[in-house]
Amino acid sequence: MNWQWFHRLSSPKWFYHIGGRWLPLIWAISFLLLGLGLYQGLYSSVIDYQQGSSVRIMYIHVPAAFASMMFYVIMAVAAAVGYIWRIKLAHMAAVAIAPVGAAMTLIALVTGSLWGKPMWGTWWIWDARLTSELILLFLYLGFMSLHSAFEDRDVGDRAAGILAMVGVVNVPIIHFSVEWWNTLHQGATISKFEKPSMDPTMLAALLLMIFGVIALCKAIIIYRLQNEILSREQNKGWVRELFSDQQGEPS
């Protein structure tokens, strides 16, 4: 079996250049989807008969919550790949993902509180879904803190990677919490395709926002990963050549 593709993906130099080619397109796609999603959600979708205009918070809350779980899993997988096969780029990817995932988790918690006040009459309740999402934020923060606690980046990569791998067990807890425990949090809506429980205009806006937020996060992660590559590979010949070429270009 030819594993050349795997070794190419693990090359910081290769990813830096390929990421630079794809980044403008991903930025454009994310802004387009978010623009369409916001227009659809704020102006074209119907108002919920029970929640009123408060339902529009969903178009930020749900994509942020989805992204917070999705990118934690990706971060944990990247940490595992780096830990098992000692691939530097995988550790760099985990480091690049962590702040973005933490930001999405914080947005999900804040927007959830903004929705909870008019619906539940309180900003916060120790609901199973909310509590497990808060734990996810602590896992992200713990990963970043543990990684930065070591002067040796390799040691920090491995230590933070172990935390990421162990913490991934919290993701299915978040997802299935509304089924496993008695909770006030709303159950699944998008996944119920066989019997939709959402107006088509609302579903269209929500899907646009989910894909837009994911694309935006991917663009930010690629940008951060490129910076992480330059920081760690600054003494490599290809990085010095890159900067010398840029400095030699006419202004």
What local confidence, expressed as pLDDT, does residue 191 receive?
53
* pTM for the structure as a whole: 0.91
What is the rounded distance in angstroms from the CA atom of residue 239 to the CA atom of residue 232? Answer: 10
How big is the CA angle at 144 (ends 71 and 123), to the nearest 5 degrees? 70
DSSP SS3 for 225? helix
Q: How far apart are CA 138 and CA 144, in angstroms?
A: 10
**Domain residue spans of the chain:** 57-232
Main-chain dihedrals φ then ψ at residue 169, nearest 5 degrees: -65, -20
DSSP 58-105: HHHHHHHHHHHHHHHHHHHHHHHHHHHH--HHHHHHHHHHHHHHHHHH
| Short-list 115, 6, 113, 143, CA closest to 53 | 115
Distance, in Å, from the CA atom of 141 to the CA atom of 4, rounded to the nearest integer, reads 35
- Give the residue among 122, 115, 118 at the shortest CA–CA distance from 60: 115
CB contact at 8 A, 67 and 217: yes
Low-confidence residues in the chain, pLDDT < 70 = 1-9, 49-50, 52, 180-197, 247-251
Q: Are 170 and 132 in contact (CB under 8 A)?
A: yes
State the Cα–Cα distance between residues 233 and 15, nearest whole angstrom.
12
- Give the pLDDT confidence of 212-230 residue by residue, as tens digits: 999 999 999 999 999 999 9
For residue 209, which of 185, 225, 190 has the smallest C-alpha distance?
190
What single DSSP character describes residue 42?
I
pLDDT attached to residue 93: 97
Calculate the CA dihedral of residues 209, 214, 216, 220 and round it to 10 degrees.
Answer: 160
User: What's the rounded Cα separation, in Å, for the pair 231 and 97?
Assistant: 16
Contacts of 109-112 with CB under 8 Å at 24 or more apart are 109/133, 109/134, 109/137, 111/57, 111/60, 111/61, 111/64, 112/61, 112/65
